Amino acid sequence: MANASRETTPKPAKSSRPSVRERFDALRNLRPFLRQIWDTSPSLTLATLGLRLVRALLPVVMLYVGKLIIDEALRLVGLDARLTTIGQWLDSGLLEPLLWLLALEFGLAVLSDVLGRLVSLFDSLLSELFTNATSVRLMEHAALLDLEDFEDSELQDRLDRARRQTMGRMTLMSQLFGQAQDLVTIVSFAAGLIVYAPWLILLLAVALVPAFLGEAHFNALNYTLNYSWTPERRELEYLRQTGASVETAKEVKIFGLHAFLIGRFRELSEKFYRANRSLAIRRAGWGSLLTALGTLGYYVAYAYIAWRTVRGEFSIGDLTFLAGSFRRLRQLLEGMLVGFSQVAGQALYLDDLFSFFEIAPEITSPPSPRPFPAVIHQGFVFEDVGFRYPGAERWAVRHLSFTLKAGEVLALVGENGAGKTTLVKLLARLYDPDEGRILLDGHDLRDYDLDVLRRNIGVIFQDFVRYHLTAAENIAVGRVEARGDRARIVEAARRSLADDVIAKLPRGYDQVIGKRFRNGVDLSGGEWQKVAIARAYMRDSQLLILDEPTAALDARSEFEVFQRFKELSDGRTAVLISHRFSSVRMADRILVLDQGQVEAVGTHEELLAQQGRYAELFELQAAGYR
Ligand SMILES: Nc1ncnc2c1ncn2[C@@H]1O[C@H](COP(=O)(O)OP(=O)(O)OP(=O)(O)O)[C@@H](O)[C@H]1O
C-alpha cells in the first residue's frame, strides 16, 4: 500500500530552470516567512522595524539641513559685514543660525549612526533566534517522517537544501527589512524632488530597468545551478566527512584511501567551481554594462539641474540638495530593484524549506485509535503479510503467516537477507505491510496509536546507534524520560552485563564514550553491544526485540546475555535474532525464515526432528565445535 501511494503521488518535480511565473509564485513564500519571523519574537521584530522607519527619514532631512547650511553660508558671504576675527563674528550674533544648523546636522549624524547600530544588533539577535527556531522545526518535522522517507535520496537532497536554508535565510530577513526601509527613504526623497523636477525621477527609474532584469535573470541561473548540484554537493560533504572523521579514520588509513577520496573530492569540487565561476564572470560582465545605463540616466539628470542653476533658477544650496538627492535616489532605486530580484531569488530557496515541511508522513495514527492493551493477551498475528521496500522489485517478505504468542520468547533464524530485520521493522510499524495485516490482540496494528505502540515495543537493532554521550545516557536512551533515574540505569546495566564494562571506565557511568568529544573513551565492539542491550532493560516494554545486537559478543557472553534475557523477561513477549544456535535453542519457539517466507516453526527439539534446514544448519555449526 505504501508503495502504491508513493508511486501515485510523485514529489513535485521542478523544472531545471524556474520560469518567470515560478519566480513570482515563489514570492508567496514571503508571507509565511515573515509570519515565522514575527512568531520568533514580536518585540524584536517591532523594534527593528520601528527604528528602521525613523532611520529611513533621516537622509532626506540631513540633506535638506545641508542645503540650508550652504544657503546660510552664502548669505553670510554676501552680507559684507566687515568682521574679521571669530570673536567679532560670534559677538555679532550673525553666526547663530548657521551654528544651530551645524549642531542639528551633527545631532542627526550621530542619531543615524546609533540607529544603524541598534538595527544591526536587533537584526542579528532576531536572525539567530529565527535560525534556531527553524532548526528546531526542521528536527521536529524530520522526527515525524517515515523511515522510508529517509531512505529516499530525493528526500535527502531536499533535507540538505532545507538545512542550508535555515542558515542562509538570515540575510533574507535583513534584506527584506532593508528594502522596506529604503522604500520609505525613496518616497521621502521623491516627495522632496517632485517639487523641482518630477520627470527626472521617472528617467532615473526607467534607466534602472535593464539592470533589474539582468539581476533577476542571473539570480534564477544561480538558483538553478545550486539546485541541480544538490546531489553532488551532498557527495562532496560525504567525501569530506569520510576523509576526515573518527569513524572512518581506521579503515581509510589501512586501505590508504586518502588519495582516492581526495582525488574524487578534487575532481567534483573543481567541476562545481568551474560552473560557478563561469556564471559569476558572466554576471559581473553584464552587471557592469547594465549598471552603466543607470549611471547615464543619473548624469543626464545632473546636467539638467546644473543647467538650471547656471540660469539662476536654483540656488547653490538647491543644487547640492538636488544633486545629492538624485545621487541617493539612484543608489536607492538601484538597490531596491536589485534587492527585489534578489529577494525573489531567495524566495525560490524558501520553497525548498517550506516544501520540506509539506512532506507528510504516511505511517500515522488513526483519528480515533483503540486503547492499547495494558497487558497483551493473545499476542501478534501475521496474516499473509507481504512487504516490498520502496523502489525494490523483489518482495522482502511475502505470504508470511505466523503467531507470536503473548509471553513467549520467539527466536528468528534464517540466512542473510531472509527477512528477519524486515519482520521486526513491520512489527514496530517502521513500515506498513503492502499486503496482508498484522494483528495485535485481534486488531490491526494500524488501529492503535503509533506513539503508544512504539512505547510498548523495545527493539535493539544490529546497527544500534553508538551515542557519543556518557555511559549512563547511552543506556538511558532506552527510556529517555527516565534518564534521571540512576538506580534504573544501574540495574539495566547489571542485567545486560554492561556493569563490568562501565566499572572499568575512569568516570564510570559519567564517562563519555566514543572518541568524538574531549575525554571520550572508546569501547570494544562487544562492550558497546552490552551497553546497547542495557537499553532493552531500561525500556522495560511489553514486547522486546533483540535483532542480533550480540554478534560481537564472545560465545560465553552471548550465552549469558540470552540466558539472563530469558530469565529476566519475566513472562514478557520477546523476539531474539541470532545466528548462534546455542543461543537460539533457549527460545520457547523458533521460526525459520527463508527468502521472506516461514519455512518451519517449532521448538528446538521439534525442528531437529523435522530434519529440515534448521537441523542442517544446527549440525553445521555444531560440527565446527567438535
Ligand atoms: N532499506 C532497504 N531497502 C531496500 N531493500 C532492503 C532494505 N533493507 C533490506 N532490504 C532487502 O530486503 C531483504 C530482507 O532483508 P533483511 O534485512 O530483513 O534480512 P535479514 O534476514 O535481517 O538479514 P541479515 O541476517 O543479513 O541481517 C534483503 O533482500 C535485503 O536486500
Q: Which domains does the chain have, with CATH numbers?
A: 37-80+87-358 (1.20.1560.10), 379-470+523-624 (3.40.50.300)
- Segment 579-594, tens digit of pLDDT: 888 788 888 999 999 9
Residue to probe by mutation, ligand 1, list 422, 427, 548, 593, most atoms within 8 Å of CB: 422
Please tell me the predicted confidence (pLDDT) of residue 421: 92
ipTM: 0.94
573 backbone dihedrals φ, ψ, rounded to 5°: -80, 135
The reply to whether ligand 1 has any atom less than 6 angstroms from the CB of 536 is: no
Nearest protein CA to atom 6 of ligand 1, as residue: 389
* pLDDT at 53 > cutoff 50: yes
- Distance from the alpha carbon of residue 406 to the mean position of ligand 1, in angstroms: 26
- Distance from the alpha carbon of residue 248 to the mean position of ligand 1, in angstroms: 24
Distance (Å, whole) CA 321 – CA 337: 24
Nearest protein CA to atom 11 of ligand 1, as residue: 396
The reply to whether ligand 1 has any atom less than 6 angstroms from the CB of 414 is: yes
Residue to probe by mutation, ligand 1, list 416, 421, 579, most atoms within 8 Å of CB: 421
Lowest-confidence range among 175-179, 347-351, 383-387? 347-351
* pLDDT at 9 > cutoff 50: no
Neighbouring CB atoms inside 10 A of 487's CB total 8
- Segment 231-268, tens digit of pLDDT: 888 888 888 888 877 778 878 888 888 888 899 999 99
Nearest protein CA to atom 5 of ligand 1, as residue: 389
Lowest-confidence range among 30-34, 170-174, 258-262, 481-485? 170-174
Please tell me the predicted confidence (pLDDT) of residue 3: 42
* pLDDT at 379 > cutoff 50: yes
Please tell me the predicted confidence (pLDDT) of residue 371: 94
* pLDDT at 503 > cutoff 90: yes
353: nearest Cα among 179, 599, 168: 168
Give the three-state DSSP class for 601.
strand
- Distance from the alpha carbon of residue 625 to the mean position of ligand 1, in angstroms: 29
- Here the cell at position 230 is 544538490
Please tell me the predicted confidence (pLDDT) of residue 11: 38
The reply to whether ligand 1 has any atom less than 6 angstroms from the CB of 501 is: no
- Distance from the alpha carbon of residue 402 to the mean position of ligand 1, in angstroms: 19
Q: What is the average pLDDT across 313-322?
A: 86
- Distance from the alpha carbon of residue 445 to the mean position of ligand 1, in angstroms: 22
Neighbouring CB atoms inside 10 A of 518's CB total 5
- Exposure string over 220-239, b if 16+ CB within 10 A, otherwise e: bbbbbbbbebbeebbebeeb
> Which atom of ligand 1 lies closest to the CA of 424?
18
- Please report which confidence band the pLDDT of residue 165 belongs to, taking 50, 70 and 90 as the band edges: low
- Please report which confidence band the pLDDT of residue 50 belongs to, taking 50, 70 and 90 as the band edges: very high
Q: In the chain, pLDDT over 90 holds for what percent of residues?
A: 35
Q: What is the average pLDDT across 310-329?
A: 86
The reply to whether ligand 1 has any atom less than 6 angstroms from the CB of 419 is: yes
- Here the cell at position 446 is 494500524
Radius of gyration of the chain, Cα coordinates, nearest whole angstrom: 36
